[in-house]
Structure 1
Amino acid sequence: MQQLNLFQESTPVLPVTYYPDFLSQELANELYQHCLKLEWQQNQIRIAGKTMPVPRLECLYGDKGCDYLYSNSVFLKPLTWTEALSNLRDGLRPAVGDRITALTGYNFRIVIGNQYRSGQDSIGWHADTDSSMGLSPAIASVSLGSVRKFQIKPRNGKPTDFWLEHGSLLVMHPGCQSTHLHQVPKTNKVVGTRINLTFRPHTGGGR
């Protein structure tokens, strides 16, 4: 499996690893069609005293009791894992190749889905620092559908651009959320739907 590891032997350039061909075309297409049928919702977020729609659709699947709150205003309660999402995480179908847990060595208890319906759907500069993920979480991000630009940068540095491909996996390693910010910016180009699945750890709930 091809990968792009942006670590140097001494000082890391970026604490991420990118696998552009994590899923085969057939599996990526199958998973994309499955994800279109997930229970998406349009949430409301409060920023600077104003309430507005989140500029994308969201959903959360995971272990029972693994609730997730971000920006002190958007609360997500996990739905029961679908078979396809559980297989993607745990590799219960070894014939289809590497799964996320086996490949990365990290354990994940929730997956947050983001659906970008057009180039106007986006997520601004941020770090995923919700305390429910514990200290220095790893996050594994699977991209499906249309290619979108993903940017990551040190908190006081310049951004690096990735064009996240259909069926790709981007792993943000422990420590990344403390030192770096990331975003999916808006674009005026005509683009189709992109679905992003971010697998995360969680300290609460139970299996």
Structure 2
Amino acid sequence: MQQLTLFPESAPTLPVNYYPDFLTKQEANELYQHCQELQWQQNQIRMLGKTMPVPRLECIYGDEGCDYLYSKSVLLKPLPWTSSLAQLQDRITAATGYSFRIVIGNQDSIGWHNDSEASMGFNPAMPAAGYAYASVSLGSCRKFQIKPIGGKPTDFWLEHGSLLVMHPGCQSTHLHQVPKTNKVVSTRINLTFRPHTGRRI
């Protein structure tokens, strides 16, 4: 895999790697079509004392019992791995050396956040724990931004079939987002592979 280097003379050192050609165009197209058949849903989230729809479609697949709770109000229970998602999981593990137990799919944008939910393990961002996150992008090319907490963002353009790996430690020091866009764009699907303690929530 070829790593993309952004602004090599001025860009900060980031705890991420980006591989624009992780999947071939044909592989990415086939996986995109497979993802159309996944069980997408729009969940409800509790914010500021109100219940409202999550502003994106979501789905989750993975190992039995690896429930995922975020924002203290949205509980996702994984469906069994599909053959295509399990093969992609194995391929990412072989390429990165990191292991994953669930994959969360989402469409559209998401604001600044880090991924440090308790189900990922106690302080899952600590490097010694070996926790990492790997995201495959399909469909429309969208901007991904990452920044040190309190710092300035660096932009990546996540291409169809690309892989972005956030290494151990990233979630404790950086925030990331896929910002909203006013442009008319086709559907983008993100598949984020994550670790999990295996404990029920």
Shared fold by TM > 0.5? Answer: yes
How far off its partner does 1:205 sit? Answer: 5.0
1:104 corresponds to 2:96: yes
1:89-114: CA deviations, max 9, x gaps?
A: 11xxxxxxxx1001110000000000
| Equivalent in the alignment of 1:176 | 170
- Name the aligned partner's letter for residue 64 of structure 1: E
Q: How does 1:24-173 map to 2 (within 5 A)?
A: 24-90=24-90, 99-116=91-108, 122-134=109-121, 135-136=124-125, 137-173=131-167
Q: 2: distance between equivalents of 1:58 and 1:139?
A: 17
- Name the aligned partner's letter for residue 157 of structure 2: W
Structure 1 vs Structure 2: percent identity of aligned residues? Answer: 79
- Name the aligned partner's letter for residue 164 of structure 1: L
TM-score, normalisation: structure 2: 0.90
Q: 2: distance between equivalents of 1:42 and 1:18?
A: 29
| Equivalent in the alignment of 1:191 | 185
Q: 2: distance between equivalents of 1:80 and 1:113?
A: 14
Contact 2:119 2:199 in 1 (8 A): no
**Secondary structure in 2 aligned to 1:144?**
strand
TM-score, normalisation: structure 1: 0.88
Contact 1:150 1:164 in 2 (8 A): yes
For residues 5 and 200 of structure 1, do their structure 2 counterparts lie closer, same or farther at Cα, with a shift above 3 Å needed?
farther
- Name the aligned partner's letter for residue 35 of structure 1: C
- Name the aligned partner's letter for residue 153 of structure 2: P
